[in-house]
Amino acid sequence: MTLTIVTLLPSLQNTNGDAENAAVLVRRATWAGLDARMVAVESRADLPEEVDAVVLGSGSDASLERSRELLLELHDELRRWGTGGVPILAVGTGWELLSWGIERPDGTSVEGLGILPGRAVPRPGARVTAELVVTERGTGRTLVGFENHARDYIGAEGSPLGRVRVGHGNGRDSGQEGVVMGEVIGTHLHGPLLAKNPDLADRILGAMAARAGLLYVAGEQANIVDEYADAARRAMLAAAGATGTDD
């Protein structure tokens, strides 16, 4: 059996390299001895017959309307994947497009697909561009990345990805970052996220494998590579002044 990881709209939604999270999943699955492939889906016509995980990266505001138009063609599939336990990782504007909607400073809005609770709203201050350190809800693990957004996110207080230790996250003094519904994750964490946080990548791969009736155990090569990721994380945490980590 070959696991299929779809990266949605990579030509539009890859501003921060977040579409490459799909490549991380494929590589780690291969290191674990599983057959896996990545499929770039730019329109509904590109959809493979079976989908085991989905990655939707972040794009620019200039591409919001076009990205929404293309994602609407996949609305039924996205809803079916989300309710059927298919892992979906959405980052930045990709996450916002899966929400209830995006509000603009001029009072106009972009209607979201309603896959995830909450909506993106204009920040009262300047754009946030800084390191982001989060304690993951449920596991207590540290997640690291870089946030770069001009909007806050409201309406997801009951199901965050985690608690902000350093950075802004969802904003509005919530102290929270991201949103999770089942196996669907929305986050501001760029990096790409899964390269910087291999434990989260393995969690997604475990869910993928279990759904397909397979067993995922990180391979020896993954353990070697993770030492480099760990060193990079420690350096970033030290620079951000994040003490008392779980690492």
CATH code for the domain of 209: 3.40.50.880
Structural domain including 106 reads 2-240
Number of domains into which the chain is organized: 1
Listed in sequence order, the residues at least 6 apart from 212 whose beta carbon sits closer than 8 Å to its beta carbon are 1, 3, 52
> How confident is the model over 30-53, as pLDDT tens digits?
999 999 999 999 999 999 999 999
Confirm whether 218 is domain-assigned: yes
Q: For the stretch 172-195, what's the b/e string if a residue is b when 16 or more beta carbons lie within 10 angstroms of its beta carbon?
A: eebebbbbbbebbbbbbbbbbbbb
Question: Beta strand pairing status for 128-136 and 162-166?
Answer: antiparallel
List pLDDT tens digits, range 204-246: 999 999 999 999 999 999 999 999 999 999 999 998 888 655 5
Per-block average pLDDT, block size 10, for the chain (247 residues)?
97 94 98 98 97 97 96 97 97 98 95 97 93 96 96 93 97 96 97 95 98 97 95 91 63
102 within domain boundaries: yes
